Amino acid sequence: MALLSSGCGMELAPDLEVDGAITVGMTTAQSAFVFEDEEGKISGVFADMVRDLGLYLNRETAVEILEEGTVMRAVRSRSVDLGFVLNKQADEEETEVVFSKPFAWLGLAFLTASDSELDAVEDLNNDDVAIAVVRDTLASQFARTALPQATVRVLDSEDEAVQAVLEGDVHGFVHDSLKIFELVDARGDRLRAVLEPFRRVGVSIGVHSENEALLEAVNDFLHDYREIGGFDRLADRYFSEAQEAFEVQGADFLFDPPERVVIEDTDAGSFSLE
């Protein structure tokens, strides 16, 4: 991190149209990326990135914690200059917000009983397999379209879904891959995580469409940040145990760019992982 810690960076060009500090919106609903630490300070992957972006651009930055589902709106209204968002939140007809290149990819994974024969997502799509998902999540959307042969139980909470697996009511629970690791790690040897992620969704930085220069600067930062090991540092700091578990299984981790489609959506065709 010598480039950033030394204070080296590029001067922010006048046409970036940002007066004062660059404000960045995010939500603590994505607790894997941003949270309040023991001292009540905002911490996590997003907070570190905002700080390093400021060093890179030689500008002050300020974090604004927003309510869940309002980050896009804040970028659109220009009440913040940047916003951390999932690409799936973008409306296909969105014209006021443009996105940086993805820098992380949230994927789905599943947990199952430790003695289960389920070893890959393809094993779930069978008429003798029952799976649990939590209501109104990426996993529930995925199950409806990509697992037509399986019996899908839509539940209200992660705890309820895990209990269903433990009691043998379902064969597996599909959810966010990082959360699957946490759930299995916390419950001993009765459960097993299959961590190879599928239907990965990019995490990007949203910028108002009229500020193309700022978008270009953000993309330059993300490229250089990866080149100097910034994302490796974040993984080591916040996800060291999870990353080790993914490596043991040979599974792609959060900051690993996707290279292939793992499963096809029977209604929409192959999922694009770019």
Q: What is the pLDDT of residues 121-155, one digit of tens each?
A: 999 999 999 999 999 888 999 999 999 999 999 99
- Are 98 and 209 part of one and the same domain? yes
Domain count along the chain:
2
Half-sphere exposure of 111 (CA within 13 A, CB side): 29
Say if residue 37's pLDDT is above 90: no
- Are 100 and 121 part of one and the same domain? no
Amino acid in the structure at residue 228: I
Q: Rounded mean pLDDT of 62-78?
A: 92
Q: What is the pLDDT of residue 225?
A: 96
- Are 42 and 86 part of one and the same domain? yes
- Are 164 and 262 part of one and the same domain? yes
The confidence band for 95, taking pLDDT boundaries of 50, 70 and 90, is confident
Looking at every residue in the chain, the average pLDDT score rounds to: 86
Residue 195's domain spans which residues?
A: 106-199+256-270
> Residue 148 and residue 20: Cα distance in Å, rounded?
52
- Are 89 and 168 part of one and the same domain? no
% the chain with pLDDT above 70: 85
- Are 126 and 85 part of one and the same domain? no
Say if residue 1's pLDDT is above 70: no
> Residue 108 and residue 62: Cα distance in Å, rounded?
31
Q: What is the pLDDT of residue 69?
A: 84
- Are 41 and 22 part of one and the same domain? yes
User: In this structure, is residue 248 part of a structural domain?
Assistant: no
Say if residue 180's pLDDT is above 90: yes
Q: What residues pair up with 152 in beta bridges, in sequence order?
A: 131
The confidence band for 13, taking pLDDT boundaries of 50, 70 and 90, is very low
> Residue 40 and residue 156: Cα distance in Å, rounded?
29
Give the lowest-confidence range in 98-102, 186-190, 222-226: 186-190
Tokens of 270: 């192959």
Say if residue 260's pLDDT is above 70: no
CATH number of residue 187's parent domain: 3.40.190.10
The confidence band for 187, taking pLDDT boundaries of 50, 70 and 90, is confident
Q: What residues pair up with 39 in beta bridges, in sequence order?
A: none
Sign, CA dihedral 223-227-232-234, equals negative
- By CB atoms closer than 10 A (0-12, 13-18, 19+), residue 176 is buried
Among 136, 128, 143, smallest CA distance to 174 is for 143
Q: Rounded mean pLDDT of 108-132?
A: 95
The confidence band for 111, taking pLDDT boundaries of 50, 70 and 90, is very high
DSSP assignments along the chain, one per residue: -HHHHTT---PPPGGG---SSEEEEE-TTSTTT-EE-TTS-EESHHHHHHHHHHHHHTS-EEEEE--TT-HHHHHHHTSSSEEEEEGGGS-TT--SEEEPPP-EEEEEEEEEETT----SGGGGSSTT-EEEEETTSHHHHHHHHH-TTSEEEEES-HHHHHHHHHTTSSSEEEEEHHHHHHHHHTSTTSEEEEEEEEEEEEEEEEEETT-HHHHHHHHHHHHHHHHTTHHHHHHHHH-HHHHHHHHHHT---TTSPP-S--SEETTTEEPP--
- Are 110 and 135 part of one and the same domain? yes
Say if residue 44's pLDDT is above 50: yes
Q: What is the pLDDT of residue 4?
A: 54
- Are 47 and 131 part of one and the same domain? no
Q: What is the pLDDT of residue 267?
A: 42
Q: What is the pLDDT of residue 165?
A: 97
- Are 160 and 265 part of one and the same domain? yes
